[in-house]
Chains A and B, each alone.
Chain A
Amino acid sequence: MTTTYLDHAATTPLRAEVAAAMAEVHAGPLGNPTGSHPPAQRARRLLEEARDEVAAFLGRDPGDVVFTSGGTESANLAVLGTAEAALRDAVVLYSAVEHPAVRESALAAVAAGMDMRELPVDGHGVVDLSALERALSSRAVLVAVMTANNETGVVQPLADVVEAVRRRAPRAYVFTDAVQAAPWLDLADATAGADLVSLSAHKVGGPVGTGALAVSPQVVLAPRQHGGGQERERRSGTQDVVGAVGLAAALRLVAAERPAAVPRVAALRDRLSEGLLAAIEGAHRTVPAGVAVLPGHLHLCLPGVEREELLVALGAEGVCVSGGSSCASGALEPSPVLAAMGVAPGLAAGAVRLTLGYDTTDEDVDRALAVVPSVVAALRRPA
């Protein structure tokens, strides 16, 4: 059975070049990067070269890059690191469509005595800028707005958010979760004004277990992980050199291939979208055309089907898609993102996310167009 993988937003296949670069690290002696002997020097050199690559990808200084264990740790460090370093009556603001790693970190900040404000979004999931303006005050410490949403792919007006924060709450930092946007947008440009930017390797063809947080020099950050003081006191623990090399190799490939990949994948996505909308009665895009969305994302509402059944039935045919957030037991949960957008629960129950990647081909789209409509029809057939 062929696999038609359309779930790149959940994770991406490890790229061959990345696996090779990581294997290279183990091919020679590898010491602890903080040591002084030759194997340690080698580890340190590989680590710093990787750091340079990540920094270049983000348009930042290498000293601003902190390696972490992934997007979730980066989000926790950004939100709780800034909140804890601030005064007790600090306020953390975050959009209603943030990834749980951000939302739950904000809730944890509340438990620690800080205040929080959830910023509403409009029907397309775009943060409400006037609500943001009204919510900003001198007590604001952190404003978290993702670069693009993981479920719908909607791109946020980050530059406008930064401008509003600088004007109304100059002491506050702007954190943007760029995990999902990384393969598709020039982050050096798109996140230029943000004080903190997070990345995850396994969303860009790299390994699970590595990520990064870019921290602008002026940011006062309390570390979440204490110990030997690595990463300039911001994140203790022996650095994962292999992971860092993997992340850097993945980002290098993205930077080289993105200009061609973006229009190619967008065209594939559009063909898939047109085909499914034509073949499935009642289907519509959750986010209307005209709203800026990442090129690989296709989020659909399919009335008359249950998400869970659709995923199982498509999976049985080798078509891999996803349906929103999972909980600890692995069951699908209702999507807080769709709820924040005002999507009716009945429609949200049949919402499905297809996400294309750099390796998606015409054959993948053909297969999806051949399989998805008939699976939907079978599920809609009365017993």
Chain B
Amino acid sequence: MRVLVAMSGGVDSSVAAALLVERGHEVVGATLKLWGGPSDSGCCSVADVDDARRVAQQLGIDHHVFNLTEEFDRHVVAPYVGEHARGRTPNPCIECNRSMKFDRLLGRSDRLGFDRLATGHHARVTRNDPRGGDSVWHLRRGADAAKDQSYVLSMLGQDALSRVEFPVGDMTKDEVRAHAHRLGLRTAAKPDSQDVCFIRDAEGRQGFLSGRMELHAADVVDSAGRPAGSVEAVELVTVGQRRGMGHGTDGTRRYVTHVDVSARRVTVGSAADAMCSAVVLAAPSMTWVDRPLPAGARAVAQVSAHGRPAGCTVERSDTANGDLLVRFDAPQRPVAPGQTVALYDARDPDAVIGAGIAA
């Protein structure tokens, strides 16, 4: 097959490319230039492009750099800023996967005649025997539970899943690094990039956003409405947050229970006050790997990239617009508006069923 491999300059995508070459496919590597500003996150800087190019050279494959900075700004960075202004907590890496890697790049891969687009994500795409009549593509967690990235891929459907490959999904991170060392790849010992690729460590989220939008101070009040301090930037406060909220008069830690950006007010309470038993997922944001869950179905929810999965029931919410209500079996830390909730199969918790964004 002709396979286009998205190479970030990291060890996972390097080994993904190597595995495809070993399997005898016709492989071409591509690095996306997404961010034109300064970055030290270790993803897709000029140095990373060089790393990817050198690995491609070691593997004997062609390498291209695709400049998608304008679209990245429009589809990922600008909405990231806009969502914060509305008091929501977006996940830009999910938006990047949704709009850039598995939409824009996948389209380009098709037009250039590739059979598959491969990445170094730790996840698996499987298909039960098609001859037995099951031609549905399944998205599953990667073999290494600690590195599983199915959460950030949970928005993919049949159309995309039929055209992607995750060659390192069956390997642990240690196995990936060992493979890279064996091949003498220059990225074998390179540390993983951790943070959002367009936010520098030195500036952090606040520094980045304050350069692009107004951040407003807000009052902090307790559940009875009594003053309990203030915050510098209400747009950066998330429900369930403990940091910066101090202690109540009874000495217990305080947690954010509600954020009202327009009223410039943050409400705090006890840990128990902050827990929630359900989250509403906005209808337009729902995606399904195959078919939607029927109302009342059981599922397993994961609300962050490496969060603990939680048993739940998925129902129709009582809003008129078809939103879903995910009712947790046990109280959970609250899910902030804008966060993605990935749903896994209750009978097969490694299999992704779908995903939605908290309303």
Contact = CB atoms under 8 A, between A and B. Distances in A.
B122 interface: no
Given A308-B64, A308-B66, A330 B53 contact: yes
A306 B64 CA distance: 14
A383 B46 contact: no
B49 interface: yes
Contacts of A328: 46
B112 A383 contact: no
Interface in B56-84: 64-67, 70
Interface residues of B, number: 17
Contacts of B50: 329
Contacts of B107: 383
Contacts of B108: 306, 308-309
Interface of A is mostly: loop
B111 interface: yes
Contacts, number: 42
Contacts of B46: 328-329
Interface in A321-340: 327-334
Interface string B239-268: 000000000000000000000000000000
A331 B112 contact: no
A331 B111 contact: no
Given A328-B46, A331-B66, A309 B33 contact: no
Nearest to B104: A306
Interface in A153-196: none
Interface in A354-383: 378-379, 381, 383
Interface string B107-127: 110111100000000000000
Contacts of B111: 309, 313, 378-379, 381, 383
Contacts of B65: 329-331
Contacts of A316: 112-113
B112 A333 contact: no
Interface residues of A, number: 18
B53 A383 contact: no
Interface string A296-318: 00000000001011001100100
Contacts of B49: 329-331
B33 A329 contact: yes
B67 A333 contact: yes
B67 A308 contact: yes
A332 B50 CA distance: 15
Contacts of A309: 108, 111-112
B33 A313 contact: no
Interface in B306-332: none
Nearest to B109: A309
A306 B108 CA distance: 9
3 A-B pairs with least C-beta separation: A331-B67, A331-B33, A329-B49
Given A313-B112, A333-B67, 8 more contacts: A308-B64, A309-B112, A312-B64, A329-B31, A329-B33, A330-B49, A331-B66, A381-B111
Interface of B: 31, 33, 46, 49-50, 53, 64-67, 70, 107-108, 110-113
Interface of A: 306, 308-309, 312-313, 316, 327-334, 378-379, 381, 383
29 contacts: A306-B108, A308-B64, A308-B66, A308-B67, A308-B108, A309-B108, A309-B112, A312-B64, A313-B111, A313-B112, A316-B112, A327-B33, A327-B67, A328-B46, A329-B31, A329-B46, A329-B50, A330-B49, A330-B53, A331-B33, A331-B49, A331-B66, A331-B67, A332-B67, A334-B70, A378-B111, A378-B113, A379-B111, A383-B107
